Structure 1
């Protein structure tokens, strides 16, 4: 198989990951969309931040970020408070309720993966983890560096 054919096959396999993501989304609590989990995970990983930073990390425009933040805030998963350094900005932080939700989601994801991959060896799982981490790193290095304006324009056209 040539390299080009291998990349075509890899592209098809990566396209099928949507099925896996949808399967994992089915184990989420009913009022918790996958995007909320991503928002909360980013707040957990990076700590308190402005909405503009969250939009940058999500690679979506501010209006989309605002909707995700409002949804999570209404459920008590994150807190919005004024930024004392810039009165126009709000700082976002994970609440104890949001942290508890992430713990529940992690347990649900872990159980679903353990059930579906129960016949995989520890070595197979470790190998998949390593390859997926490497794939993410490679794509991180390939991502074009866009200005905030280019990013906003691009995500407004292709959400």
Structure 2
């Protein structure tokens, strides 16, 4: 098990990830802020879903989700379709222009990462992906399950 000093250093490094996220946010198109990009990404990854599921995945309140959905819907990137299982509900669906926007976001992000990590080997990038995936999995889905107690 890692020692206290290693965990403290890890905490400092994780705090610094905000700078990486801010740099990634700067490459987003003017009309596609980070929240809109997150909506498109989740719909691209998970397919059609109800707004309640999107709110859960975004870990935000339904009113916040509604504003994000309105923004992307106003641009024609998603549409709200009747839910076949419950006609009173709506399903959010990524449109062709929304897929194009998502593809552009992916290209921009990939170019930025390729530029910033140009001196990294393929193995190092692969290892980072593995470790970040494992870190995220160690924390579990904070939205759906109670947190494990932290032992002092």
Deviations 1:53-101 (A, max 9, x none): 1111111111011011000101111111232433432110101111101
Q: Calculate the TM-score normalised by the size of structure 1.
A: 0.84
Aligned residue number for residue 29 of structure 2: 29
**Post-superposition shift, 1:141?**
5.7
Aligned residue number for residue 5 of structure 1: 5
Q: Calculate the TM-score normalised by the size of structure 2.
A: 0.88
Structure 1: 5+ residue runs without aligned partners? 147-159
Aligned residue number for residue 63 of structure 1: 63
Moved segments of 4+, more than 4 Å: 141-144
Q: Which has the higher contact order (CA 8 A, sep 6+)?
A: 1
Counterpart CA distance in 2 for 1:91 and 1:141 is 23
Aligned residue number for residue 74 of structure 2: 74
Range that drifts further, 135-144 or 21-30 = 135-144
Aligned residue number for residue 150 of structure 2: none
Aligned residue number for residue 41 of structure 1: 41
Name the count of aligned residue pairs. Answer: 145
